Amino acid sequence: MRIEVYQATTALAGAELLRLRSRPEPVDHVTGSERNAIYVVCDRTGKVRYVGSTTGRPARARLAEHLVDVDRTRDWHEAWVIPLRAATPVVTVRAIEGRVGRFLRPTDNRCLPARTA
């Protein structure tokens, strides 16, 4: 995923966007302490593989749970994080995740949250 695409996805967060993070990080070494976030996982070619969200804990903690399933995450290489404001309601975080996912069309998601909030 290119920086221009990341910037377009951050626009989908609207007023809930906390700040931009200008580069991806290795999927197993994501930093940051934002408690609410959307994360976009790409493979080595930059193809979007997965879009997820976390509430109440950093993205690195949620990604670590995914990485336990080695067969499913074998091709995951880097993650772009879209940090959201700490006060963002869970229903809004999930709605943003759904918007980002529908925009990016990841290959490894089984489903995305509905269009609510």
Cα–Cα distance, 11 to 24 (Å, whole number): 17
Q: Would you place residue 114 in the very low, low, confident or very high pLDDT band (cuts 50, 70, 90)?
A: confident
pTM: 0.94
Q: Which residues of 76-109 are buried (b: 16+ CB within 10 A; e: fewer)?
A: bbbbbbbbbbeebeeebbbbbbbbbbebbebebb
Task: State percent of the chain over pLDDT 70.
Answer: 97
Report the mean per-residue pLDDT for the chain.
Answer: 95
Residue 110 CA: distances (Å) to CA of 22, 51, 69, 86:
28, 10, 15, 27
Beta partners for residue 50, in sequence order? 41
Task: State the DSSP string of 55-102.
Answer: ESS-HHHHHHHHHT-HHHHTT--EEEEEEE-TT--HHHHHHHHHHHHH
111's tokens: 């489903």
> Do 54 and 61 meet the contact criterion of CB atoms below 8 Å apart?
yes
Q: What's the pLDDT at 79?
A: 98
At 45-99, the pLDDT tens digits run 999 999 999 999 999 999 999 999 999 899 999 999 999 999 999 999 999 999 9
pLDDT above 90 for 13: yes
Q: What's the pLDDT at 117?
A: 57
At 69-82, the pLDDT tens digits run 999 899 999 999 99
